[in-house]
């Protein structure tokens, strides 16, 4: 299959799991991504756009729709009075935690056919690819504790 084919097909597989989990939690894939990114901390709009790969207008619409559902809120940026940050509400934090936990469980189950040493090797290799390419840590690991709500 080759590395490119395997990684692209793996990305499609993970995206499909993400979308399926989202449907079950009443979230679009983009809303699910937004909630998971915000689990770590609030972000400014510019930073969020970069992390999610969204243009300003697309991000504004996503945040507006998610805020109308009561899952996120805009708050003043303490470092820049002209800017706002996006943060999870209490309801959004609870939903993000449940969605994240279930989605991680499902993604982890994709490798159920691998023996434990193979799972370890896959984890080590994927970790190296991610770190070598300086992919930002935006998706909380399951063992990192409760979702912070600001």
Q: pLDDT truncated to tens, each residue of the chain (150 aa)?
A: 899 999 999 999 999 998 999 999 999 989 999 999 999 899 999 889 888 888 888 999 999 999 999 999 999 888 888 888 999 999 999 999 999 999 999 999 999 999 999 999 999 999 999 899 887 766 666 545 443 433
pLDDT at 60: 93
pLDDT at 50: 86
- SS3 assignment, position 73: strand
Phi-psi region of 87 (alpha: psi -120 to 50; beta: other; left: phi over 0): beta
In 3D space, the residue among 8, 35, 14 whose CA is nearest the CA of residue 103 turns out to be 14
Distance of CA 41 to the CA centre of its chain: 12
d(CA 109, CA 128): 21
- Mean pLDDT, the chain, rounded, equals 88
d(CA 76, CA 53): 23
d(CA 28, CA 137): 21
Residue with tokens 């991000």: 59
- Give the Cβ contact number of residue 55 at 10 Å: 9
List, for residues 64-104, the tens digit of each pLDDT value.
999 999 999 999 888 888 888 999 999 999 999 999 999 99
Q: Which domains occur in the chain, in start order?
A: 3-144 (1.10.10.10)
d(CA 100, CA 32): 8
pLDDT at 149: 39
């Amino acid at each position: 299959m080759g590395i490119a084919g395997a990684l692209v097909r793996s990305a499609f597989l993970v995206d499909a799991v993400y979308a399926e989990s989202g449907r079950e939690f009443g979230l679009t894939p983009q809303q699910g991504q937004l909630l998971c990114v915000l689990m770590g901390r609030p972000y400014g709009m510019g930073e969020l756009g970069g992390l999610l790969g969204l243009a300003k207008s697309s991000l504004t619409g996503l945040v507006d729709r998610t805020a109308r559902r009561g899952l996120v809120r805009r708050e003043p940026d303490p470092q820049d009075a002209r800017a706002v940050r996006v943060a999870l509400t209490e309801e959004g934090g609870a939903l993000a935690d449940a969605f994240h936990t279930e989605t991680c469980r499902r993604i982890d189950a994709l490798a159920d056919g691998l023996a434990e040493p193979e799972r370890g090797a896959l984890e080590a290799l994927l970790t190296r690819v991610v770190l070598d390419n300086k992919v930002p840590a935006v998706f909380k690991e399951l063992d990192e504790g409760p979702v912070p709500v600001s």
